[in-house]
């Protein structure tokens, strides 16, 4: 069962589906398609980025992240989200329209001396 759990969470849309997304420790919404990731060592901190596309509307994205305990603001078709991941990473999430979909960019900052 332990090996099946991550797979089952992914099928349910509750799990991260990429090693960088796993480091952020924040689930992606159902139907998210990861289009880019990066991990940058910036001296005293590590910056993680995950970019994904989704068919969800701005309000749905905001509600999804609010349900995870983050603060979200919808301004027309864009969304701005801030907060902290379960592992204590600082999060900034922006979503904007991109050809009939939303492109969502998650930026997470972790101090180098913080537990990973």
pLDDT digit string (tens) for 65-87?
999 999 999 999 999 999 999 88
- For 4-111, CATH number? 2.60.120
Q: Is the pLDDT of residue 16 over 50?
A: no
Average pLDDT over residues 31-57: 94
- CA dihedral (57, 63, 65, 71) positive or negative: positive
Model pLDDT, residue 7:
36
pLDDT per residue as tens digits for the range 82-108? 999 988 999 999 999 998 899 999 999
Sketch the domain layout of the chain as residue ranges: 4-111
Q: Find out whether 31 and 17 touch, Cβ atoms under 8 Å.
A: no
């Amino acid at each position: 069962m332990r090996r099946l759990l991550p797979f089952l969470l992914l099928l349910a849309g509750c799990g991260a589906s990429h090693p960088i997304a796993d480091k952020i420790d924040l689930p992606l919404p159902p139907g998210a398609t990861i289009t880019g990731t990066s991990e940058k060592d910036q001296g005293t901190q590590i910056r993680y980025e995950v970019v994904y596309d989704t068919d969800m509307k701005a309000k749905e994205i905001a509600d999804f992240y609010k349900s995870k305990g983050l603060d979200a603001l919808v301004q027309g078709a864009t969304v701005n989200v801030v907060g902290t991941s379960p592992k204590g990473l600082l999060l900034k999430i922006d979503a904007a329209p991109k050809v009939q979909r939303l492109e969502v960019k998650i930026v997470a900052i972790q101090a180098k001396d913080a537990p990973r």
